[in-house]
Amino acid sequence: MATKADKKTGSRGSGQAFPRTGRRGGGPKALAQALPAVTRRILGKRGFAEGSLVNDWSSVVGEEIARRCIPKQLSFKRSNERRDGTLTLRVESGFATELVYLEQQLLERINAHFGYRAVAKLRLLQGPVIDRKKRPRQAPRPLTRTEENTLSAKVSEVEDEDLRKALSDLGTAVFRRSQQ
């Protein structure tokens, strides 16, 4: 029979160890499995409790529509009932008229994604829709002579060449961001 000490250490008294049951966390998990728990609070404030509509937006409505509008908020008349809600979309200027004609088709696709009638109507807000894949990059501004001299003076005393280079790169990035 195992004593209290044996239970704590995980031995059976005969010197053999056995694995503990009920480990916290249960071992390694895939990031996709843990992500909903992390994003639930942030997306929940906008009505996207699971976040699946935001994550799967392009596959739900199609690539062309997804490039021209994005979901912003999902709201319901009663907080305890998640049916017949209003989905607010940010839509590119000029595309809103076309989207009005596609509303029924979009509602069918969105509700098919949820598996029930979660959304009853769309609310359109016209404005810029940033395609994260095609976001224009600004060329970094060059440092002034004063900034270069200040940075050189600060990192010159560092003996390790790799560390000095890394600190110089970091300092350059900081100077560039401070003047934007």
Give 90's contacts (C-beta < 8 A, 6+ positions apart): 69, 70, 72, 125, 126, 127, 128, 129
**Predicted local confidence at residue 136, as pLDDT:** 59
Question: Do residues 161 and 178 touch, judged by C-beta distance below 8 A?
Answer: no
Question: For the segment 93-121, what is each residue's pLDDT rounded down to a tens digit?
Answer: 888 889 889 999 999 998 898 888 888 99
d(CA 17, CA 9): 8
DSSP state, 28?
-
Instruction: Quick: pLDDT tens for 36-95.
Output: 555 555 555 544 555 677 788 888 888 888 888 888 888 888 767 778 888 889 998 888
State the pLDDT at residue 59.
87
Mean pLDDT of the chain: 76
Instruction: Kindly list the structural domains of the chain, giving each domain's residue range(s) and its CATH number in brackets, ordered by start.
Output: 35-134 (3.30.300), 145-178 (no CATH)
Residue 46 has a pLDDT of: 47
> What radius of gyration, in Å, describes the C-alpha atoms of the chain?
27
Angle at 157 between CA 152 and CA 158, to 5 degrees: 95
Residue 26 scores a pLDDT above 90: no
Which regions of 76-117 does DSSP assign to beta strands (E)? 85-91
**Is the overall model pTM greater than 0.75, yes or no?**
no
Contacts for 11 with CB less than 8 Å, ≥ 6 apart? 2, 17, 18
